[in-house]
Structure 1
Amino acid sequence: MQRQKGFSLIELLIVVAIILIIAAIAIPNLLRARIAANESSAVSSIRTLNTAQISYFSTYPTVGYAGTIPALGPSASTGCTTPTSTSSCLVDWIVAQATAAGSAKSGYFFGLGVTAGGGINSAYTVGGAPAALSQTGVRGFCSNEDAVIRYTASAAAPVTTKAACAAYTALQ
């Protein structure tokens, strides 16, 4: 009598069950790690936008702070050949265009609000929110001209007012 070589159906089912158990443990950890990385990137982008706003304010004192995020980036048609107040080339294209959930940078999109005073934009608030809440991020972030980054436990849209940002908790 010849002996069959290979695995039995039971052995294969046990191996598949073990793989599924390992995947059930590993996938949530992977998602949490991705969310943490996205949130870290969002904080970094807000820091970049703060720095760009300070540079913009000193470069264009008759305008004050930039009124839109794309004004901090390169021009769509000419790139960064000649920086102007409408395309100052202070942030890269990806950050400058991440103003809607469909064009998010690392799972976050950003909004900017300005306060006019004395004929110029004298204050600003920049906010970031996850493009898909609980999938790309769970916290919203904001900052204004004081450069203190604040967060909230959940945000569906970027905060663009100073009062709303002040209600957030300062990031340590």
Structure 2
Amino acid sequence: MKKGFTLVEIMIVVAIIALLAALVLPGLLRARINANEAAAQANLKTIATACESYASANNGMYPTSWGDLLNGTAPYLNKNLSGTHQGYNINCTFTNTSYTCTAKPVSSTTGTKNFTIKTGGNLTSS
């Protein structure tokens, strides 16, 4: 008598594994998108806090560049948050009276919402 698995038994096991993977993967992908979106919002809030702190220390004048935040008398940020971080592209425009920063997903698999934060720390999503 031979011992081992028949082709039908192996095919049933493979089908069960494929079914389980099909059920689990969408949930994992959504969890990653949620984490990326939360990280993008946190990065924008960090930038806004740094801008507001800079303005408080500089007679209400906001930074005009990333350099002001990174190299100021008291560094307001410990790293440059422009560019791609956790699946989102972050872009900011600075003037001495205001700032606007946006976070847009790199692709639909890294996020589904665009975020914007403006002077005063008002965060919106679209």
**Taking structure 1 as the reference length, what is the TM-score of the superposition?**
0.66
Q: Are 2:105 and 2:113, in contact at CA under 8 Å, matched by a contact in 1? A: yes
- What is the aligned counterpart of 2:78 among 86, 92, 101? 92
Q: Provide closer, same or farther for how the CA distance between residues 29 and 69 of structure 1 changes in structure 2, counting only shifts above 3 A.
A: farther
Deviation digits for residues 63-107 of structure 1 (CA, Å, limit 9, x no counterpart): x2122345423xxxxxxxxx437xx622232xx1x433xxx2111
- The answer to whether 1:105 aligns with 2:85 is yes
- Within 2, Cα distance between the matches of 1:10 and 1:68? 66
Shift of 1:11: 0.4
Provide the C-alpha distance between the structure 2 equivalents of 1:67 and 1:33, rounded to a whole number of angstroms.
36
Q: Within the alignment, does 1:16 sit opposite 2:4 as a pair?
A: no
* Residue 33 (structure 2) aligns with: 35
Alignment-derived partner of residue 65 in structure 2: 68
TM-score by length of 2: 0.88
Distance 1:71 1:18, change over 3 A: farther
Distance in 2, Cα, partners of 1:122 & 1:51: 15
Q: Going by fraction, where is helix more abundant, 1 or 2? A: 2
Segments of structure 1 that go 5 or more residues without pairing to the other structure are: 74-82, 116-120, 153-172
Partner of 2:112: 138
Q: Residue 36 of structure 1: CA displacement?
A: 0.3
Please say if residues 130 and 136 of structure 1, whose CA atoms lie closer than 8 Å, have aligned partners that are also in contact.
Answer: yes
Q: Report deviation, 1:54.
A: 0.7
Match of 2:98 among 114, 117, 123: 123
The answer (yes or no) to whether the contact 1:129–1:141 under 8 Å persists in 2 is yes
Question: C-alpha distance in 1, partners of 2:66/2:103?
Answer: 12
Cα offset, 1:13, TM superposition: 0.7
Moved over 6 A (4+): none
Stretches of structure 2 lacking an aligned partner (at least 5 in a row): none
Q: Is the Cα–Cα contact under 8 Å of residues 52 and 120 in structure 2 kept in the other structure?
A: no
Read off the aligned partner of 2:62 and give its amino acid letter. Y
Residue pair 1:67, 1:112 contacting (<8 A) in 2 also: no
What residue in structure 2 maps to residue 162 of structure 1?
none
